[in-house]
């Protein structure tokens, strides 16, 4: 462990500092300095199945913003995975951290916003990243955030704990949370039983999109993908409402996917580009024969933005006759957050049987 007596020593492990004007930090105390967290969070690599055997701890994989929460006396910050501060976007979270008894800490966790059903609302979380102070203040009241904590990186004297094992850090985290109760700050659930973790994977939840496995004897490894994560993969039968060509080629590049809502409108919900090269010529001819407006009768693919151009957003509507089964993980604002994986064609299924309720967890 690294004991903090002066900022320069600690800066080499957990905390970086900015003194301005090239001045050196004063020796009279850490909290008096305008400091910021520079530690990259420990990460997980994706695997197909959960590891088994003794020595593993399993936790829900939360669907929010990864965040390191930092306090040193009057200095507070929330540092996102990118290394940038999220503090000004979540003033209510700073207030919650300021209100607990602990005066110094570094916590690793996930910022979440709960929707009306109690699940995580990722699109609402994204909407919080707004430049206007007035909107930030309003949303902090209307859609307050919570911090789900799963690791503790320092003690109350800002002594580094990253060289301790996970099992030791978890005991310290439990003790910290017992003394610092808050409705906005909570510790994650965990289990040492693989069967229970498998049940978390099997049962859908809007806020938990998988399971993270951690070695009980591992120390905290900043920036290293030392943990394992298994994401919950779900499937949906979707209508092909349009397609895009490959860039610079007259071959189908991606299929635009739609689902019907209760009003009978076909809404665009995402895309899949997982098409085998040898299948593209025949599929292109098939799609071109079905080109007809409008394709989507509800929400349609977006128009060009500052990140795209006319070519990259150009798409061609087709008659809603083809159905595909796709695999997906996240859903945000009734759309697949990432590209879906094409599993198979479903000639046995009618397009009008492909409903939006497949996206409900």
Number of Cβ within 10 Å of residue 75's Cβ equals 17
pLDDT in tens, 52-104: 989 999 999 998 899 999 999 889 999 998 888 999 999 999 999 999 999 99
pLDDT band, residue 298 (cuts 50/70/90): very high
Nearest alpha carbon to residue 98 among 80, 79, 72 = 72
Instruction: Give me the pLDDT at residue 268, please.
Output: 97
Identify the active-site residue in 3, 61, 84, 349. Answer: 61
pLDDT exceeds cutoff 90 at 167: yes
Catalytic annotation present for 231: no
Task: Tell me how far apart the alpha carbons of residues 130 and 310 are, in angstroms, rounded to a whole number.
Answer: 27
Nearest alpha carbon to residue 269 among 353, 199, 330 = 330
Instruction: Give me the pLDDT at residue 115, please.
Output: 67
pLDDT in tens, 183-218: 999 999 999 999 999 998 887 565 677 899 999 999
Alpha helices in the chain (DSSP H): 7-11, 91-99, 122-127, 133-142, 166-179, 194-202, 280-288, 310-313
SS3 at position 112: strand
Crossing angle of the two packed helices 91-99 and 133-142, in degrees rounded to 10: 60
Instruction: Give me the pLDDT at residue 37, please.
Output: 55
What CATH number should be reported for the domain whose range is 7-231?
3.30.470.30
Sign of CA dihedral 58, 60, 61, 65: negative
Stretch(es) of the chain classified as CATH 2.40.50.140: 234-359
Average pLDDT, the chain: 84
pLDDT in tens, 106-150: 999 999 987 665 555 777 888 899 889 999 999 999 999 999 999
pTM to 2 decimals? 0.71
pLDDT exceeds cutoff 50 at 248: yes
Using an 8 Å Cβ cutoff, are 209 and 231 in contact? yes
Q: 120 - beta bridge partners?
A: 114
pLDDT exceeds cutoff 60 at 260: yes
* Identity of the highest mean pLDDT range in 200-209, 272-281, 294-303: 272-281
Identify each DSSP E strand in the chain by its residue range: 15-17, 35-37, 43-46, 56-62, 65-72, 75-80, 104-112, 146-152, 185-187, 208-215, 225-231, 234-245, 252-260, 266-272, 316-317, 323-328, 331-332, 335-336, 341-345
Q: Please, what CATH class does the domain formed by 234-359 belong to?
A: mainly beta
Stretch(es) of the chain classified as CATH 3.30.470.30: 7-231
pLDDT band, residue 232 (cuts 50/70/90): confident
How far is CA 292 from each of CA 23, 259, 315, rounded to the nearest angstrom?
68, 18, 12
pLDDT exceeds cutoff 70 at 9: no
Instruction: Give me the pLDDT at residue 18, please.
Output: 30
Give mean pLDDT, residues 28-53.
68
pLDDT in tens, 302-359: 754 433 444 446 999 999 999 999 998 878 888 898 889 999 999 888 999 999 999 8
Task: Tell me how far apart the alpha carbons of residues 257 and 325 are, in angstroms, rounded to a whole number.
Answer: 10
Nearest alpha carbon to residue 111 among 102, 103, 99, 120 = 120
Q: Which residue has the tokens 């976007």?
A: 89
pLDDT exceeds cutoff 70 at 12: no
How far is CA 248 from each of CA 245, 261, 272, 317, rounded to the nearest angstrom?
8, 35, 19, 19
pLDDT in tens, 303-319: 544 334 444 469 999 99
How far is CA 13 from each of CA 70, 164, 212, 267, rounded to the nearest angstrom?
14, 14, 25, 50
pLDDT exceeds cutoff 90 at 11: no
Instruction: Give me the pLDDT at residue 33, please.
Output: 30
């Amino acid at each position: 462990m690294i004991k903090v007596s002066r900022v320069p020593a600690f800066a080499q492990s957990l905390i970086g500092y900015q003194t301005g004007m090239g001045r050196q930090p004063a020796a009279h105390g850490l909290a008096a300095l305008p400091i910021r967290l520079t530690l990259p969070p420990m990460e997980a690599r994706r695997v197909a199945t959960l590891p088994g055997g003794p020595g593993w701890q399993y936790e829900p994989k939360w669907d929010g913003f990864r965040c390191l929460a930092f306090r040193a006396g009057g200095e507070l910050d929330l540092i996102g995975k990118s290394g940038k501060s999220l503090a000004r976007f979540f003033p209510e979270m700073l207030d919650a951290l300021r209100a607990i008894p602990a005066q110094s800490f570094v916590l690793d966790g996930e910022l979440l916003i709960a929707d009306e059903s109690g699940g995580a609302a990722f699109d609402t979380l994204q909407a919080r990243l707004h430049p206007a102070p007035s909107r930030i203040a309003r949303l902090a009241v209307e859609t307050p955030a919570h911090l789900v904590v799963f690791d503790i990186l320092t003690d109350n004297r800002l002594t580094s704990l990253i060289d301790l094992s996970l099992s030791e850090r978890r005991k310290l985290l439990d003790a910290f949370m017992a003394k610092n109760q808050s409705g906005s700050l909570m510790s994650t659930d965990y289990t040492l039983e693989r069967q229970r973790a498998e049940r978390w994977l099997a049962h859908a939840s809007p806020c938990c999109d998988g399971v993270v496995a951690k070695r009980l004897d591992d120390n905290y490894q900043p920036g290293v993908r030392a943990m394992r994560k298994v994401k919950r993969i779900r499937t949906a039968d979707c209508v092909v409402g349009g397609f895009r060509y490959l860039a610079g080629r007259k071959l189908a590049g991606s299929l635009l996917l739609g689902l019907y809502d209760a009003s009978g409108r076909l809404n665009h919900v995402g895309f899949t580009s997982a098409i085998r090269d040898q299948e593209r010529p025949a599929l292109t001819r098939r799609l071109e024969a079905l080109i007809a407006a409008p394709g989507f009768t509800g929400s349609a693919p977006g128009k060009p933005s500052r990140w795209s151009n006319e070519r990259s957003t150009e798409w061609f509507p087709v008659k809603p006759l083809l159905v595909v089964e796709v695999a997906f993980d996240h859903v945000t604002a009734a759309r697949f957050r990432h590209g879906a994986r094409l599993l198979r064609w479903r000639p046995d299924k009618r397009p009008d049987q492909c409903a939006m309720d497949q996206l409900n967890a």
